[in-house]
C-alpha cells in the first residue's frame, strides 16, 4: 500500500523553511513545497524584492536540487491592481474604485493569496499530509491542528520561533527580509510596520511611487495605505530626518 503524499506550505519565512530543514534532518517524508505568490499586477511581484529573490534564487533551487522535492509556485488570477481598481457595486460609494485595502483582515490575503491555495488543496488526495510552520511556543495555533491532516514538525521536534530562525541562519536559508523586520509580507501591506515601509521607501522608491500614482487617481474611495495616512503622507513622515532609525512594533507572519 502506497503512503500518502506529504506537502509543506512554504512562505519562505523562518518557520516554514525550518520545517523543510527538519524534514530532511529527520528523514520525514516530503514530496513537495508550495509557495503562494501575491502579485502587484500581472508582471510585478507583490513580495518584497529581497524576499522574492530569496525564494527563486535560493530556496527553490535548494528544494529541487538539495532536497530533491518539487517546489510549486501558485498565483491567483486576481492581483493587487485588480483589488484596488475594483468598482464598488452597492452602497453609498457605489461606482467608486475600492482603493487601498483596509488594515486588519487584508482583502489581498483573501482575494490573492488564499484562493490558489484552496484550489490546490482541493485537488489533493484526502489523505495528503500537510506540514505547517507553527512553532512549539505557539500553543493556540497548534491547538487548531487537532483533528486535521496538518502536522507541525517544529512542535514535534521542540523548535521555538527563535530556534527556527537560528536553524535557517545556520544553513544559509534565512530570508534577507529579517535584516529589517520580523515578518514576510507584501511590500504594500497595510499592516506593515514603519520599519518595513521605510525599507521600501529607501531601497525601492520606484515601487513605492506606484502607490503614490494610485493615490492621485480620480474616483478612489479609500486613499489611505495605513489606518491614518495616505502613501504621500506616510512617505513625508518616514523620510523626515527625525524619523531616521525609528521603527514601530512588528507583527509576526508565518
Q: Is the pLDDT of residue 68 over 80?
A: yes
Task: Report the 10 Å Cβ neighbour count for 215.
Answer: 18
Q: How many domains does the chain have?
A: 1
Percent of the chain residues topping a pLDDT of 70: 95
| pLDDT confidence tier of residue 249, bands split at 50, 70 and 90 | very low
Listing DSSP states for 33-61 in one string gives EEEE--BSSSSSBSB-HHHHHIIIIIIHH
pLDDT at site 246: 53
| pLDDT confidence tier of residue 241, bands split at 50, 70 and 90 | confident
| pLDDT confidence tier of residue 245, bands split at 50, 70 and 90 | low
Parent domain of 135: 6-181
Task: Report the 10 Å Cβ neighbour count for 107.
Answer: 18
Contact (Cβ atoms closer than 8 angstroms) between residue 153 and residue 131: yes
Mean pLDDT over each residue of the chain, to the nearest integer: 93
pLDDT at site 250: 40
Q: Is the pLDDT of residue 243 over 80?
A: no
Would 13 be classed as within a structural domain?
yes
Would 232 be classed as within a structural domain?
no
Would 221 be classed as within a structural domain?
no
CATH number at 81 reads: 3.40.50
| pLDDT confidence tier of residue 251, bands split at 50, 70 and 90 | very low
* Residue 57 Cα distances to 66, 137, 243, angstroms: 13, 31, 33
Burial classification of residue 7, based on how many CB atoms lie within 10 Å of its CB (0-12 exposed, 13-18 middle, 19 or more buried): buried
Q: Is the pLDDT of residue 148 over 60?
A: yes
Angle CA(59)–CA(63)–CA(68) in degrees, nearest 5?
A: 165
Would 236 be classed as within a structural domain?
no
* Tens digit of each residue's pLDDT (9 = 90 or more) over 178-187: 998 877 889 9
Q: Is the pLDDT of residue 147 over 60?
A: yes
- Cell numbers 502613501: residue: 231
Would 38 be classed as within a structural domain?
yes
Would 72 be classed as within a structural domain?
yes
Percent of the chain residues topping a pLDDT of 90: 87
Would 241 be classed as within a structural domain?
no
The end-to-end CA distance of the chain, in Å, is 34
* Tens digit of each residue's pLDDT (9 = 90 or more) over 135-145: 999 999 999 99
pLDDT at site 252: 42
* Tens digit of each residue's pLDDT (9 = 90 or more) over 114-139: 999 999 999 999 999 999 999 999 99
pLDDT at site 248: 41
- Cell numbers 523548535: residue: 159
pLDDT at site 78: 97
| Whole-number Å distance between alpha carbons of 113 and 36 | 6
Q: Is the pLDDT of residue 152 over 80?
A: yes
Would 188 be classed as within a structural domain?
no
Amino acid at each position: 500500500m502506497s503512503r500518502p503524499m506529504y506537502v509543506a506550505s512554504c512562505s519562505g519565512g523562518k518557520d516554514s523553511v525550518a520545517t523543510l530543514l527538519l524534514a530532511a534532518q529527520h528523514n520525514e517524508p516530503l514530496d513537495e513545497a508550495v509557495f503562494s505568490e501575491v502579485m502587484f499586477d500581472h508582471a510585478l511581484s507583490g513580495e518584497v524584492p529581497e524576499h522574492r529573490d530569496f525564494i527563486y534564487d535560493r530556496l527553490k533551487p535548494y528544494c529541487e536540487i538539495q532536497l530533491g522535492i518539487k517546489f510549486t509556485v501558485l498565483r491567483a488570477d486576481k492581483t493587487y491592481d485588480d483589488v484596488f481598481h475594483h468598482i464598488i457595486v452597492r452602497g453609498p460609494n457605489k461606482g467608486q474604485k475600492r482603493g487601498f485595502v483596509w488594515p486588519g483582515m487584508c482583502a489581498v490575503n483573501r482575494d490573492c493569496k488564499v484562493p490558489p491555495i484552496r484550489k490546490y488543496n482541493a485537488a489533493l488526495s484526502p489523505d495528503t499530509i500537510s506540514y505547517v510552520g507553527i512553532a512549539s511556543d505557539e500553543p493556540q495555533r497548534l491547538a487548531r491542528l487537532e483533528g486535521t491532516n496538518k502536522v507541525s514538525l517544529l512542535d514535534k521536534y521542540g523548535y521555538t520561533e527563535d530556534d527556527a530562525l537560528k536553524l535557517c541562519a545556520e544553513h544559509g536559508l534565512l530570508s534577507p527580509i529579517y535584516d529589517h523586520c520580523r515578518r514576510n509580507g507584501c511590500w504594500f501591506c497595510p499592516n506593515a510596520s514603519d520599519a518595513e515601509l521605510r525599507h521600501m521607501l529607501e531601497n525601492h522608491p520606484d515601487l513605492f511611487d506606484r502607490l503614490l500614482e494610485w493615490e492621485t487617481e480620480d474616483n478612489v474611495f479609500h486613499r489611505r495605505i495605513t489606518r491614518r495616512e495616505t502613501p504621500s503622507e506616510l512617505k513625508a513622515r518616514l523620510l523626515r530626518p527625525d524619523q531616521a532609525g525609528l521603527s514601530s512594533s512588528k507583527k509576526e507572519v508565518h
